Structure 1
Amino acid sequence: MPRPIILGVVGDSAAGKTTLTRGLVRVLGEENVTHVCTDDYHRFDRKQRAERNLTPLHPDCNYVDVIAQHLGHLRAGEPILKPIYTHSDGTFGAPVYVKPARFTVVEGLLGYHTEAMRQVYDVRVFLSPPEELRRAWKVRRDCSRRGYTTDQVLAELDRREADSEAFIRPQERYADIVVRYLPSGDRDQEHLDAELVLRSSLRHPDLSGLVDGDAGITLSERSDEVILRVSGSVEPETAAEIEEAIWERMHFASHLRSERLGEFTIGTDLHRSESLAVIQVLILYHLITAKASLALGGDGTRAPSGIPEAVHT
């Protein structure tokens, strides 16, 4: 069996990592995906962190070397005994035996912190929403799911700010795709603008024929990057054209097509975002083409280290 294709999704707490990956797992099939959260590798529980005045964002609060070791085992097709951190009460549970499936999705705070980690991934995504938006998401999540008060969440965000600036945000430079959700006036979460920074470390599909500023789709170049902007007000038909164009470039995976891309939940209510659907299908494109490369005897679709590629637009 070929080695698994490994996707990394890194970002600060409540940046939208789980929302993004949930739809990808649904399309690829739960049975085909191994999920690993690097936040399970905390060195200290919540009480111990408080005693040491450490935040979970600090590398000293995490077994960074063990994360790199376990990711290397997964890439080699080998199982790991993964620790479990319970967010609801800040304690550790019993470790679980994890075997790599066809795809491995790795998400968390420090997934790109070391070179050894970064070399494992076939696709590296970084989520970088504006801070005011991320803070609002974290307040809502931690108050509704983890039992905190608003004041507690805001105080913890302030306490973490220095570590976020020092250790989390700098990882953006290592991503192949940077995703930024941008609020537009009073639009709700179904209609957030999305800006995708597409870097030349991967060969991205040609989307230039779909650019239509009047319809809410723009494409621009900057150095070795392409910036794709999808308006939150884009019509479903226009977003569907982009998705269709990307699906056509991976016609060998047509069996994976799903109308459920772009879905997310707020509480128990199901919503859909057209910009989220575009982001997810673009990431799927890279996962599927990397898998095809392995099947043909290659080793994925990343550009050779240290050799920049032309941007494909």
Structure 2
Amino acid sequence: MQPRPVVIGVAGGSGSGKTSVTRSICERFGEQSIVMIEQDAYYKDQSEKSFEERLQTNYDHPLAFDNDLLISHIEQLQQYKPIEKPVYDYTIHTRSKDVIPVEPKKVIILEGILVLEDERLRNLMDIKLFVDTDADLRIIRRLLRDTKERGRSMDSVIDQYVSVVRPMHNQFIEPTKRYADVIIPEGGKNAVAIDLMVTKIQTILEQKSFL
């Protein structure tokens, strides 16, 4: 019987560098042994709502996520069963009809702003990380990302940050830092922290007789 895959949670505020940390770890292991699951892919389907209603969605609130589906998919991957990861379309503010086939791997990295908020998700994790980056850097990164990749205007990004993102960060995301096993300052630029995480993951894999 194969050992259960290692599950790593990577949390932190929007623009903190979670994805950079995750990619840095993935690069060290290669695609053969690691799979990344983004919590952003698991925003709830809103096809039943009008477009105007969808525009009111608070994407930084825990209730925006379909954690039931996410937990089910992580559990399937832990049992070495493939999944079909949903695709969220930010231009229409609902789930796309497309899915991405994902094969099980030895290491599963679950990355997202609120992956440490749900106790059920935390209980699936072997290692819990929180990427801690100053608010001024996070807003600049979010501004660049949303205007370049998501077709947003600068004014709309700033308005959303002030009215929703910042208060939700303080209320829901920042408090989850206390659940982290490791806090990584400055995200993907923290090479020492990433080296330590890679070493720790290798140790766990060896203990599970994967290596």
Distance verdict in 2 for CA 1:149–1:157, change over 3 Å: same
SS at match of 1:55: coil
Distance verdict in 2 for CA 1:290–1:87, change over 3 Å: farther
CA distances 1:88-124 after superposition (whole Å, capped 9, x unpaired): 6544221233221121111012212222110111111
- TM-score where L is the length of structure 1: 0.60
Q: What is the CA–CA distance in structure 2 between the aligned matches of 1:30 and 1:51, rounded to whole Å?
A: 39
2:111 is matched by which residue type in structure 1? E
Report whether the alignment pairs 1:138 with 2:142.
yes
SS at match of 2:208: helix
Report whether the alignment pairs 1:283 with 2:197.
yes
Q: How many residues align?
A: 205
Q: What is the CA–CA distance in structure 2 between the aligned matches of 1:37 and 1:157, rounded to whole Å?
A: 21
Q: What is the CA–CA distance in structure 2 between the aligned matches of 1:162 and 1:105, rounded to whole Å?
A: 27
1:277 is matched by which residue type in structure 2? A
Conservation of the 8 A alpha-carbon contact between 2:13 and 2:113: yes
Conservation of the 8 A alpha-carbon contact between 2:7 and 2:110: yes
Aligned to 1:81: 84
Query: Which sections of structure 2, spanning at least 5 residues, go unmatched?
Result: none
Aligned to 2:53: 51
Instruction: Give the C-alpha shift of residue 76 in structure 1.
Output: 2.9
Instruction: Give the C-alpha shift of residue 180 in structure 1.
Output: 2.1
Q: What is the CA–CA distance in structure 2 between the aligned matches of 1:60 and 1:50, rounded to whole Å?
A: 19
Instruction: Give the C-alpha shift of residue 44 in structure 1.
Output: 4.2
Q: Which has the higher contact order (CA 8 A, sep 6+)?
A: 2
1:1-313 map, 5 Å: 1-45=2-46, 51=53, 53-87=56-90, 90-93=93-96, 94-160=98-164, 161-181=166-186, 273=189, 276-295=190-209
Q: What is the CA–CA distance in structure 1 between the aligned matches of 2:173 and 2:71, rounded to whole Å?
A: 17
2:65 is matched by which residue type in structure 1? N
Distance verdict in 2 for CA 1:280–1:120, change over 3 Å: same
SS at match of 1:97: strand
Q: What is the CA–CA distance in structure 1 between the aligned matches of 2:50 and 2:104, rounded to whole Å?
A: 32
Moved over 6 A (4+): none
- Which structure has greater helix proportion? 2
Q: What is the CA–CA distance in structure 2 between the aligned matches of 1:149 and 1:101, rounded to whole Å?
A: 38
Q: What is the CA–CA distance in structure 1 between the aligned matches of 2:132 and 2:87, rounded to whole Å?
A: 26
Q: What is the CA–CA distance in structure 2 between the aligned matches of 1:64 and 1:156, rounded to whole Å?
A: 23
Instruction: Give the C-alpha shift of residue 45 in structure 1.
Output: 4.8
Q: What is the CA–CA distance in structure 2 between the aligned matches of 1:295 and 1:164, rounded to whole Å?
A: 39
Instruction: Give the C-alpha shift of residue 294 in structure 1.
Output: 0.8
Distance verdict in 2 for CA 1:144–1:78, change over 3 Å: same
Q: What is the CA–CA distance in structure 1 between the aligned matches of 2:201 and 2:82, rounded to whole Å?
A: 21
Distance verdict in 2 for CA 1:33–1:48, change over 3 Å: farther
Q: What is the CA–CA distance in structure 2 between the aligned matches of 1:32 and 1:58, rounded to whole Å?
A: 32
Over aligned residues, Cα RMSD in angstroms? 2.3
CA distances 1:128-187 after superposition (whole Å, capped 9, x unpaired): 211111111111222222222222211111122232222222211111111222xxxxxx
SS at match of 1:30: coil
Conservation of the 8 A alpha-carbon contact between 1:44 and 1:61: no
Distance verdict in 2 for CA 1:125–1:169, change over 3 Å: same
